[in-house]
Amino acid sequence: MTAPFTSLATFRDTLAAAPGPDTAAAAGAEARNGQLTKPPGALGRLEDLAIWYAGWRGTDRPSVDAPQVIIFAGNHGVCAQGVSAFPAEVTAQMVANFQHGGAAINQLSKAVGAQMDVHALDLDTPTADFTQGPAMSEAEVVAALTTGWQAVNPGADVLVVGEMGIGNTTSAAAIGHALFGGEAADWAGRGTGVDDAGLARKTDVVARAVALHQTDDALAVLRCLGGREVAAMAGAIAAARHHRIPVILDGFICSAAAATLAQTQPGALDHTVAGHLSAEGAHQCLLDAIGKAPLLSLGLRLGEGSGGALAINILKGAVACHSGMATFAEAGVADG
């Protein structure tokens, strides 16, 4: 589907025009939930999750039949600053692994019956080193947003977006610092496993980059400090909202991409839930900032959409209970 924007200004307009949930379907789901054969609230967050999902899918008795997982890959010029434990060549190598079915996310996608797609964005042309200038031009960031938008299958009924990009925890840390303040050390973590010296370099890079690109415009933050794969995730999350497809957010980098939308348009993430809390220290800070409580906390720090894909199982369980359980009247069980 052709993206309905050609600039950051029209992308901002697209976010502002995004649809909301079907309130009648949500109300119907809430009423149904109150009649199911269980004590009120006995399924905890699963009940809220099913009602939220019903509102976005437009039916009070939904199902999860067509998950989609999309992995976006990009390379970062800031890797020249020594911020990663791995060379940039690993990005392309891992893309090949995804394409051949050999990565963790391939197995997790298969396990939940998800369509999995991989999009590599100009791996031979890394973004610019954002300690020296903006990571991307407006044309480049809009192209990445467009790739993300067009990658979403309108027939999907839940979406997870993940990433691969050596250096992208540095990008995500810089985005978090630029959007929400604090100190650079609050946002910079060990990522792929940098040592103490690498962490010090990374923290310094984040501080210098944010000082260089001071702006209150979250889309400008995405352009100046993001990566192509980060922008593509933002584009895909926005497209899902356009199609009323619920989104399960993955880890630190996905949450940073999502945060640029939330800071651009209030309510832009109402169609999303946080799949998990990753082991990257600043992820909790990002989740707090965007008001999302994770469904899982398993110490993951892989990326690739892995935590989000795992959380599809939680959503499936919530929806199966909501739509498949009998009501008190159907089961002939006395209600209270």
The catalytic residues are 304
181: left (phi over 0), alpha (psi -120 to 50) or beta: left
Amino acid at 175: I
Q: How far is CA 44 from CA 38, 39, 40, in A?
A: 11, 10, 9
Contact by Cβ (8 Å): 305, 279: no
> Cα separations (Å) of 234 from 64, 195, 217, 220, 307?
23, 30, 15, 13, 17
**What are the tokens at 213?**
């690109």
102 phi, psi to nearest 5 deg? -100, 0
- CA of residue 313 relative to chain centroid, distance: 17
C-alpha to C-alpha distance for 113 and 107, rounded to whole angstroms: 10
Phi, psi of 76 (to 5 degrees): -120, 125
Give the separation between CA 122 and CA 90, rounded to whole angstroms: 14
Sheet-wide strand order for 67-73: 115-120, 67-73, 158-164, 247-249, 272-274
Joined together, the tokens standing for residue 131 give 């300690």
**Residue 39 Cα distances to 164, 210, 232, 324, angstroms:** 43, 51, 43, 16
Rounded distance between C-alpha atoms, residue 296 and residue 307, angstroms: 8
